[in-house]
Amino acid sequence: MLVRIHDIGLYLRCPMLVYLEFMGRECFRADIERTILRHLALYSAPDDLRGDMSKVVRDLATVHRIPEEDVVRSIDGMRDSISRIASVPRDLIKPCDIEVELRSERLGLSGILDRLVRPEPRRRGLLGMLLGGEDKMIPSIVRTGRSPGEGVWRRDRIQLAGYAMLLEERFGVEVSTGQVEYVRDGEMRRIRIRSLDRSRALWVRDRVREIRDGEMPDVRGERCDSCEMAGICGIKSCTISRML
């Protein structure tokens, strides 16, 4: 069975999450705000996000089956984030394909890439080198949480490396740049894809396989107090009972 890039992200949050999902528990279901931010970043044109947003509200309510009044209330609370999404330079995200399905038996990986940016040839050259535009393809992932002070979160970097390998396998081109769209903060962060992160992605792939084969994840419970899954995970009570 192929390991999804999503599983790599779960493992990097906590290996127990891979186990829980494999046992049929849904981990981190997106709330309404995250669902809306993600939809706006991927599917809305900048003009739709300025002024009257009735078309966007209708689309969101229809696609995600959320009552229109709930959509309006959430949008009202996210005006700053929405105006930042509308002002992202188009060059960084267009032209592109969205939600690109990728899989490779050889790599043992699969995933749905949020956005595959295909920079215009004119952006290659010196300016392109500065912007990462010498790449024919740039994997871009949308994140609805907060951005780090600089660069991208480690988990995002390693997942981008996984997508880069999948793209290289499918299209036969070198992919050396990736980017993360931290849409809540309106931050676009571009990074070089490093060999180290490719190795880490494959290392995590192998750990995920072991968990699926029945190995219990090795977790120590340090992050359990702030974990949303604590209610259904049960690891803390196991840890305490082992100590008694």
Among 16, 158, 167, 201, binds ligand SF4 (CB under 6 A): 16
State the residue for tokens 């390998």: 165
Q: How many CB atoms lie within 10 A of CB 95?
A: 11
Among 12, 17, 56, 60, binds ligand SF4 (CB under 6 A): 17
Using rule CB under 6 A, residue 61 touches ligand SF4: no
Task: For residue 121, give both structure tokens.
Answer: 């040839």
Among 129, 223, 238, 240, binds ligand SF4 (CB under 6 A): 223
Q: How many CB atoms lie within 10 A of CB 238?
A: 13
Using rule CB under 6 A, residue 229 touches ligand SF4: yes
Q: Distance between CA atoms of 90 and 79, rounded to whole angstroms? A: 20
The residues, ordered by sequence, that sit 6+ positions from 151 with a Cβ below 8 Å of its Cβ are: 157, 189, 191
Q: In angstroms, give the least distance from the CB of 93 to ligand SF4.
A: 33
Number of residues binding to ligand SF4, judged by CB under 6 A = 12
Task: Give whichever of 27 and 49 is closer to ligand SF4, judged by the CB atom.
Answer: 27
Q: Distance between CA atoms of 193 and 172, rounded to whole angstroms? A: 16
Using rule CB under 6 A, residue 18 touches ligand SF4: no
Which residues make up the interface to ligand SF4 (CB under 6 A)? 14, 16-17, 219, 221, 223-224, 227, 229-230, 233, 235
